[in-house]
Structures are given as C-alpha cells and as structure tokens.
Amino acid sequence: MVFLNRIIMKKFILFYRENAQKLSCSLEYAAGVLRGLGLNSSLQGINFSKKGIYYVAFLLLFFSQSSLHSQIIIDGDPSDWPAVLNNPANTKKAFKHDPFDVLHVDDQWTGGSSDTGANPNTHWFWANGNSNDKGDIANAGAVLLGTKLYFFGDRTAANGNAQIGFWFFKDDVRPTGNGSSSSPFTGEHVNGDILIISNFVNGGGNAQPSIYMWAGKTDVNPGALVLVTGGGLDAALATNSSVVDVPTGQMFNGEMWTFYPKFGETGTYPNPLFFEGYLDLATLPGEYNACFQRFLLETRNSQSINASLQDLVAGQFYGIPPAPTAISNAFCGTGSVSLSASGCNGTLKWYTSASGGVAIGEGSPFNTPEISETTTYYVSCTVDGCEGPRTAVTATINPLPSGVGVPTHVTCYGAATGSIDLTPSGGTPPYTYAWTKLGDVNFAASTQDVSDLTAGVYSVVITDSKGCEGNVQVEIVEAPLVTPEISKNPGNASTLCGVSPSEAQALIDTAFTNWLNEAGAGYESGVHVDNPGTAPYTITISPENPSAPLYSGGSVDVTWTITDACGLTDTVIGTFTVDNNCRIICETVPTDVLCNDGSTGSIAVTASAGFPPYNFYLYLSSDLNTQLDSVLDVDSNPGMATFLNLPAGTYTILITDAVQDLEDPTLCADTSISQPESPLSSQISNIDVLCYGDATGSIDLSPSGGTPPYTFSWSASNGGVIPEGQENIEDLTGLVAGTYSVVIIDANGNEGGCRNENSAEIMQSDELTCSVEKNSDEICIGGLNGSATVSVLGGSGDYTYLWDNGETTATATGLSGGLHSVTITDSNGCVTSCEITIATIPCDDAHCTYTQGFYGNYGGLGCTPDYGTVNSHVMMTNALTQVGGSFNFGSLNTGNYFLLKLSDVTGAGNPAQNKIYKMLPGGGSPRALVGYATYDEYATWSDNDPLVAKGGNKGKINNNLLSQTITLFFNLQMDQSLGGVVLESSFATAKTITCGSNEPNMETAQEFTISSNVISYLENNGGATVANLFALANKSLGGESTGGINAATINNAVDAINRGFDECRVKVVIPEETIETRSIAFDDKDATSNSRPISGNVTIYPVPFQDSFTVDYGLDYDSLIKVQIFDIKGSLIYQLNDIDTKQNHEIRVEPTFNKGKGEMYIVKVITDREVIIKKVISSQF
C-alpha cells in the first residue's frame, strides 16, 4: 500500500506540474467530478487556492482508476508500465519478451542489416543466435496515451558503447521463417514510419533521443530515413539511475515480463539496464496519426545509423483496428440485400472496391442499393482516425426458378394412370418440389415428376438450393367407361378303334386344333369378340399351349380372357370332349417242358384291338396275387410277348394298354404246360497218374435218367489231354494229369434237351527235379576233395541218391576236378538226374603281409615265412636291421624324404612305447612329402607335415601314402619273395589253412583291384612287380614324375598289396561271386537303429577322406562284419560284407557312390554282437 501511495503521489505531483494551468482553469470541472463521485461533504469549506487545487487534483487522481492506469512517468522506473499495458482502455499498445542470455535461440540481425535499408523484405535478415550482453534485449513495449507515444526496453549489461532504436511501422513489417539460417523480413516502409534512437556511451544514456521518419516514398522511389529537426519537438529518454525492481506477472497478450541481470540481485534492474521514453506525435511536423501495425526494438554496438544491427525484438502494435467479420446475404430476384459486420469498436464503413474510393454507407446492417446480379462489397473499421483493412462480403442475387410440366392424360375412366413430366429451369439447382391438387387436401408429392395421377388440376412449388420459389400448374383429363365381351362354343370327337394310338391321337388332335382355332366373322384367337372395350386389347388363352384330350377319352377346358387398354376383362371357358369305346383281344399258345423239373416251357401271347404299348403280366392261375413275370411296353399292334423258362403248371396272363390299366385289364384264358417224368444224372470215378508227365490215368462214367439214348462231349483243361478218338465215348483211358469235363445230352437233343455235366481231376505228384550246389572245388591237383550237395524237389518222397563216383548221400565229398552227375529215384520209381562241374584250384606259394593297423599295434601276433609267429615289434626290428638301421622314404634327389630309424622301433625301454606305435596307423590325404623330416627332429614336422604336430595324435603320420609305403617296406623285408609278385588289375587271394601252409581256405577268398594305369606305367618302367610298385610309391612321396598317376591312385595300389596278402594268403582264381556280394545272414538294420555300447575301438581314417578310407575294427572278438554307408538323409548308398575278419582286423572301403565335397556320411559296422555307428566327412578338394 505504501508502494502504491508513493506511485500515486509521484504521479500526482508530475500530473499537477504538467497540468496546473489546466487544473486552475477547470477547478469547477474538478469539483463537478468530485461531486459525481459522491464527495459533496469533502468539498465543504475548501478554499480553492493553490493548495486547494493540489488537494482536488490529488482526489481526482486517487479516485480515478482510469487516470491512475493511464500515466507513464519517464524516470527509468518500470513499475508504472504493467498497469498501463494491462488497462483495457489503452488499445494501442505492444509488449514482447525476447529470449536473452540463451545460446542459439535469441533472434538477432544478420546479413549486414541496417536501418537505412530501403526495403525490409529484401534488405533485412535475421537468424537464431545470441547477442553480446550490452546489446541483448529481454523485454520491450510501447503504448499510445493521447498524442504521446511511450516506449521502453532493457538489456542485460551496460558496458561499452551501444545504440538503441525503436521502430514504429504502419505496414506489417516483421521477421519470417524459423531463423535456423538467414531468414527474411516481410512488409515495406511507409511514409510516416518512425525510428527513435538513443546512444549509450560507456553505459550511459542520451536523454534527448534522435527522431527519424521515413519520407519521400512514391511508386518509383522507395524513400529514405529523414532526421526530424526543430525546436518544437517533444521527446525524452531516461534510464534507471539506481536499482529498481523488475515487474512480474503476465502482460495483456499472455507473455511474461522476466529479466535476469548479468550482475546484481535477481529480480532487479541494476542501473542503467532499463530505459524508457516518449515522443509526442503532435509535435512532429505536418499532420500525423498513430496508425501503427508493428513495432521493433533494435540494438547495435555503434552510434552510426548505417552500422550493422545486433539484437532485435519485434511485436504487434495495435495501432489500427483489425478487419471486421462480415456476413454475406442473398436475395431472390432483383432487390436490396442486407449485409452485416461485427468486431469493430469504431465506425464500420462500406465500399464498392477493395481499396480507395468513397464509403457508400456506415454502420451495420447495411442495405445495398437495388441490384439485379450478385455484387461484392467491402467493409472496414475506423477507430481514432485509423482505418483498418477491408473485408470482402458478397451480396448474392439468386435467380427465381421456373418450369414446364407436360401431362400424360388418363385413358381409362377412373384410373390413376396420369403423370406429369416436369422440366425445371432457372434458379440454382438442386431443386425441391411441393405438389398439391386442387380440391384434394390429401394429395402431396415432393418428386420432380409425378405419376399414378387421377384426373384433376395439379400445382407444384419449385424451390431451389437458395430457397427461391417458382410455381407451375398442369391439368390431367380422363376418357369415358367402356366394357369388353367375348363368347365360345363347346367341341367334341370320338376315338377310332383298330388303329395305332398315334393315329387315333392324331385324329383327336386335328379335331381339337380346329375347335381351338375356330375362325370366321367376329372371331379372333378362337373366340368371338362381342365388344372389344377400349383399344388396344389383348386375348390370352389358358393354358397357354393347351393339349387335346387323350384318345382314351376325357375332356379339356380352355379359358380365353380379353383385356382392354383400361385393364377391364371378360372371360369365357370352352370344353372339348373325347369318347372312347375300344377293348383288348387276347390269344395264347403254350410250349411244354423238355426235362423233368426243368424250366424250358413257354407261353406265346398276342394282344390286339387295343392301343399300344401293351403290358403283359404272368401269374399262376392258383395265385393271382404273385406276379411271376412281365413283358412291358410292346409298341406294336397286334402286340406279342413270350414268357420263357417256365416249369410245368397252369398260368393266367393279364394285358393292359395305354387305355386299359390294371384296374380294368383284359384277362386271358388259363394256359397249361406239361413235363417228362424223371431228370438226367451221372456218376464218375477216376485213377491218378503215378509219375509226373506219364499218361496212366483213367475215368469211368455212369449216366442215368432223362430220355435215352445219350450223347457225350469231353473237354480237358489244366494240362489234361483227351486221347484221340475218345472225345465222344462214355469212358476215358491213357490220361495225363489235368481236369476232364463231360456234357451228357439225352434224346431231346442240344436245343432245349435234358443236359447233365460232370467232371473229374486226374492228379499226379510234383515233378521230380534236382539242383546241385558246389560246396568247394578240388584243392590241389589229385586232391579228390571237391564237394557238392544235391537238392531234390517234387516226386513222392523217400529219395535215393547215386553219384557217378559211387557215393549215395545227398552230399558228395570226394570229387575230383571235372563234370560229375547224380541220379535220384523216388518211392514211385520216378527218376531224375543233375550235373555239376568241379574246378581244380592249383596250390600257389603263400605270401605274408600285414596292414598298418597291425604294425601300429604292439600286441598283435602274425605269421612270417622265416620267424614263425611273432609280434609286429620283431618284424619291424628285423626289417630295419636288414637295411642297415634306417631307411629314407621319398627321394634324396628332390630332398623330399622321411627318415625312419631303427631307434624309432627299439629306442624305448618299454617296446610298446616306441615312436613307431605313435606314427602308425597313419591317415590323411596321400601326397608328396615337402622337404626332409624324421621323428627325432620335431622342427622337421612342427608344421604338421607329415606328422601330427599337436594334440592327442601328436606324432601320428597324416600322409596315408607314407604310412602305406612304410607298411609295404616292412612286408617286403619280412617276405623277400613278395617283391617278385607280378601285379594284376584284378586278383583274388584266400587265407592259408595254417601258418606256413600254401593250401587256401576258399571261404576266405576276396578280390582286390589295382589301377590299370599303375600296371601300364610299371610295365613300361621295369615291370609290374610289387618291388617296382614300392619304388613308384617312393617316387610319388619324393615329388618325382610318376607318369601323371596321382598319389591317391598309387596309395590304393600299395594298400591292395598290404591287404591282399594280409596274414599270409595265397593267390586263387577270382570266384564267380566275390565276397562283397556274398549272401550272409545278417539282421539288416538301418542307420537309425539303436546301437548297444561298443566293446571294440572302431576307428576310421583318413578323415576327411578322398577316394577311400580304412575301417579299423579294433574288436576283441572274431565276427562276420557288414559295413553300411548312409547319406545324411538316412538312405543306404553302399554296403560291403566282410567275412575275412578277426580281432584287431581292418578293411579298406572304396565307395562307389558320388561323393560331394565336405559332405558327412554315416558308417554303420554290424557284427555278431553289436551295431557301431561312426561319422566321416569327404574332403573339400
């Protein structure tokens, strides 16, 4: 309250100083004001001296809220601004808060913009940024009080030189765009725009501002800023000389007055950061008004009017009223249109043009002059001499609608068939319609056209979319009443008997058609037209296509109807009648039964004088309820039917036709059929054949009954044969096995005579046959140890045997080489014989080899030619000792070789721990060696070639050609005769019966193959022997030329020798069926079968494989073995049966299926005890 009183007192003193003279002159006026405020008592005793004037003036200020809120004191204190700005009585004002002291969001000048730019829309630019403190504006505002234009602004610091300018624009000059980059202004300078500038030097302000006006603008000249000079100019500026409070709260336009100084207390203006001033517009030269639209506060760091500008804050100055809101109106036809407008606190002025011209009226509503077409008018608002923009408003003249109605009159008396086809015109579509009928208050319609009208006068009001109306009247008239009439005579005809139904019906149809289409004077469509009614008319007949009555009799009604144009009708029914007096005549002829209890009787029946088709029904005369047979639809006249296959008896026949049905049939006289006394039959007996294929059978036939004499006809099937001359006799002899059938016919003959059939089957034992299977050939010439077994089928059993060497059992065991026969006799004495050829197998020399799996197992024992049965350690020790204690595998010439030393076999204290048992068995792809390597020097194979350098298999050979060649080396040293063995592309060997023997066990025979390319190469290079194969393998390991034969092919050949004589075998003739196709009794399981835990250590190498891999069974028992390979889908793609097995045996598998690169396969090993499943992967190369 104290603060308010101080403000009031300050404003009072200043008000008095400025208006003392006016107050003195208007003392009585002031007293009147106080009296109007109800203060008569306060005026008692007042001496209207100078002091009294102060008192009265104070009271005026205190009690006049309008006066308190309408005064600005230019003293650098902002406290009086909020009340003035927020006073609704003050309409021409502005307030704008500008972001300050915030990076990149404050609007500031850019692009070298300066006040002297002639066109703001092309010379002024702005962008978001931040200004320096002395030029950073936070708040700006202005207000017009009377003729004085007050304004204020602030900045965040006062250091250094600066210049502040206030622009007041009469056009809509303002920044546009978003300021993210250089953005333009819109609007133009107008003569009379004001720029008020104050300079600040070292933070101080110039109390006397510089006033500029924009002048000289024409259509061709943009004008320029002109400094206003002269002593009569009333303007002032002030900054705060001490700290003042920052006003708070919301301004009239919703914006907040906020400020944060760079120094000093929050919520205060340290001096001299707030500045304010005024310009009395009445002191400007010439006539002037305050019709400003926009204001702008600007800062620059220089006092030059041409200097670039810095910060800005721009806002609306409500110096001119806004355009009013206008409401258009319309009028139907020529006349005056009433227009209205709102939103104006001043005077509304009406014009005929968008700009310029003289107002033709004021206020609202405004009635236009009488017009005949749509016209646009314009309205503006003028307040305090400032006229705002004009709003366009339309005075619409809507044309009146009209129309033409074309009637369709009522042609039938009293009908509602009239209609009016209305064609509207004029006005503004779409239209609505309101129909009425003269004298009928219930009639109403809203459609354009109306129909279903009775006679009368109709009117329609046409209303268009603008509400304008027009009227049309139309009259509907009707014709007088006339009724149509017709007549028709009845017709008849009689059925003609003794003709076909079609002929009888044709005669009826002709008579009916003539009656139906009766013609003559006054006839039309078969009827007589007595009165046609209102033309045009139609005559219809029902049924539409009537049919004549049937020839069987009856009548038909036909209806004729005449309908005239008015829908009036007359109906007549005509009847046509047919009379029928015809009946069926019946005749029958019987045929007797030929054989007793037979059904060969028949009755022929004839029907006449009726109307086909005839139907014949057969009954036993004793039972007319059970129909035996029928013959239907006999379409002839007379009609005939025959009932066949009848037994003896008395029969009755009923006949119907197209007229007579079963309710009124013709009944034929009873007809009888007779038969013989007894039936024909026969008995048959036979004797079977003893030996298969003989003709020793016979048949005895005994016929009886019927009518003798008899005839016979024999036939045979299922291998039977009728002996020549016996086809038509009673009994048969000399028969082979088969089925024999006879047909017996009595004296009545083949056609319907008595017939008997019988048959007999002559049996025989199955054909006596034999087959011989060779058990074994003669081993060694003169051995007489060949064996064969005969198998017998058929015959009568109890067989006896006789071999050509005198043996009398099914199996002969002492056969020599050559052709042998055996004779078999059954219990009936039937005989057959068979032959077989026994080969003689010469006994070749045995050779002993072992596989790398054997040499890699210390515990294995093997047979040798020189040392008997020893283990692998002894064999390898002797082999290296025989060559001086070491051997180079590969080629010294190329430097690609592996040195195997005796110490690799004997160096360890425990023989089983020697290095050779780490190296073998080997694996990996066959290939040439690279450089020198030996086990003792790890650096020579630390690159994992040719030995595994790391892991659990460290030291294991990973080049299968090297491990196979080392294995062949041991075999050649153990069996010195092996090197001379001549190689064949396909050869077979069999194990010897005992160690040291050369007698083969043929059950172990197995075939092996060597590439023909290898054999051809060796034959051209010293001979195809095992010794030269060993040399070829070393050349391949050494990287020397091998004639284009790859390492894998050579590896396979070496493997064939190592396996071909494995565990001492003898070369034998290749069996007709090799072991890989021999049938062995196994349980065939697929790859998905459940497997029991393995008891052996089955290993497969190399993995991945290229052309082949080795399966090392590692079993602790002997067993027949089947190896199956499945693809990843579970399909069986390869199978191998191996019967040459024992503990710790291995076999080489050379798959014949197409192998993809890097594909996985499932290997299943089936033994007598278990199923073992492993996985292998093919090589990527």
Domain regions of the chain by residue span: 2-66, 76-307, 325-398, 401-476, 485-499+528-579, 593-673, 681-762, 769-841, 846-1068, 1075-1177
Span 201-222, mean pLDDT?
79
For residue 892, is pLDDT > 70? Answer: yes
Q: How many other CB atoms sit within 10 Å of the CB of residue 850? A: 25
What own/partner pairs with CB < 8 Å and gap ≥ 24 does 873-876 have?
873/905, 873/911, 873/914, 875/850, 875/970, 875/974, 876/905, 876/916, 876/970
pTM, whole model, 2 decimals? Answer: 0.38
For residue 239, is pLDDT > 50? Answer: yes
Residue range 295-316, pLDDT digits in tens: 999 988 777 888 888 889 999 9
For residue 659, is pLDDT > 90? Answer: no
Span 878-903, mean pLDDT?
95
Both tokens of 355, joined, read 């700009």
> Please, which pLDDT band fits residue 560 given cuts at 50, 70 and 90?
very high
Span 396-412, mean pLDDT?
92
Span 434-457, mean pLDDT?
94
Ranking 375-389, 469-483, 1139-1153 by mean pLDDT, the lowest is: 1139-1153
Ranking 312-321, 586-595, 803-812, 1115-1124 by mean pLDDT, the lowest is: 1115-1124
How far is the first Cα of the chain from the last one, in angstroms, to the nearest whole number? 104
For residue 1094, is pLDDT > 80? Answer: no
Both tokens of 1026, joined, read 């095992």
pLDDT of residue 1128: 64
Span 489-506, mean pLDDT?
86
| Partners of 629 in beta bridges | 618
Residue range 38-51, pLDDT digits in tens: 444 444 444 444 44
Residue range 690-749, pLDDT digits in tens: 899 899 999 999 998 887 888 999 999 999 999 999 999 999 999 999 999 999 998 877
For residue 270, is pLDDT > 50? Answer: yes
More confident residue, 757 or 1081: 757
CA distance 244 to 963: 107
pLDDT of residue 485: 93
Whether 769-841 and 325-398 are alike in CATH topology: the answer is: yes
Span 830-834, mean pLDDT?
92
pLDDT of residue 1085: 34
Using an 8 Å Cβ cutoff, are 856 and 999 in contact? no
pLDDT of residue 61: 43
Q: How many other CB atoms sit within 10 Å of the CB of residue 1006? A: 24
pLDDT of residue 101: 57
170 closest CA partner among 92, 101, 102, 112: 92
CA distance 773 to 787: 9
Torsion over CA of 431, 434, 438 and 442, rounded to 10 degrees?
A: 150
Residue range 575-619, pLDDT digits in tens: 999 988 888 899 999 998 888 888 888 999 999 888 889 999 999
For residue 539, is pLDDT > 90? Answer: yes
CA distance 854 to 1083: 29
Kindly give, in sequence order, each residue whose CB lies less than 8 Å from that of residue 1101, ignoring residues fewer than 6 positions away. Answer: 921, 922, 923, 924, 960, 1109, 1110, 1112
Architecture in CATH of 1075-1177 = Sandwich (2.60)
Span 62-75, mean pLDDT?
63
Using an 8 Å Cβ cutoff, are 572 and 564 in contact? no
> Please, which pLDDT band fits residue 1152 given cuts at 50, 70 and 90?
confident
pLDDT of residue 208: 65
pLDDT of residue 207: 54
Q: 769-841: what fold?
A: Immunoglobulin-like (2.60.40)
| Partners of 196 in beta bridges | 166, 211
Span 807-811, mean pLDDT?
93
Mean residue pLDDT across the chain: 85
Ranking 763-777, 830-844, 917-931, 1095-1109 by mean pLDDT, the lowest is: 1095-1109
Q: Which residue has the tokens 């304004």?
A: 151
pLDDT of residue 649: 93
CA distance 14 to 58: 11
Span 799-817, mean pLDDT?
92
pLDDT of residue 583: 87
What own/partner pairs with CB < 8 Å and gap ≥ 24 does 405-410 have?
405/458, 405/460, 405/472, 405/473, 405/474, 406/474, 407/474, 407/475, 407/476, 408/476, 409/455, 409/476, 409/477, 409/478, 409/479, 410/453, 410/454, 410/455, 410/476, 410/477, 410/478, 410/479
For residue 511, is pLDDT > 50? Answer: yes
pLDDT of residue 202: 56
Residue range 967-999, pLDDT digits in tens: 999 999 999 999 999 999 999 898 888 887 888
For residue 1117, is pLDDT > 90? Answer: no
| Partners of 127 in beta bridges | 108
CA distance 511 to 518: 11
Please tell me the CATH superfamily of domain 325-398, with its number: Immunoglobulins (2.60.40.10)
Span 42-68, mean pLDDT?
44
SS3 at position 1052 = helix
CATH class of the region 593-673:
mainly beta
Span 186-193, mean pLDDT?
94
Ranking 29-43, 122-136, 607-621, 1027-1041 by mean pLDDT, the lowest is: 29-43
Architecture in CATH of 401-476 = Sandwich (2.60)
- Amino acid making up residue 586: C
pLDDT of residue 972: 94
pLDDT of residue 1027: 94
Residue range 70-127, pLDDT digits in tens: 689 999 999 999 999 999 999 899 999 988 655 557 888 988 888 888 899 999 999 9
Please tell me the CATH superfamily of domain 681-762, with its number: Immunoglobulins (2.60.40.10)
Ranking 153-157, 202-206, 278-282, 834-838 by mean pLDDT, the lowest is: 202-206
Architecture in CATH of 485-499+528-579 = Sandwich (2.60)
pLDDT of residue 1078: 28
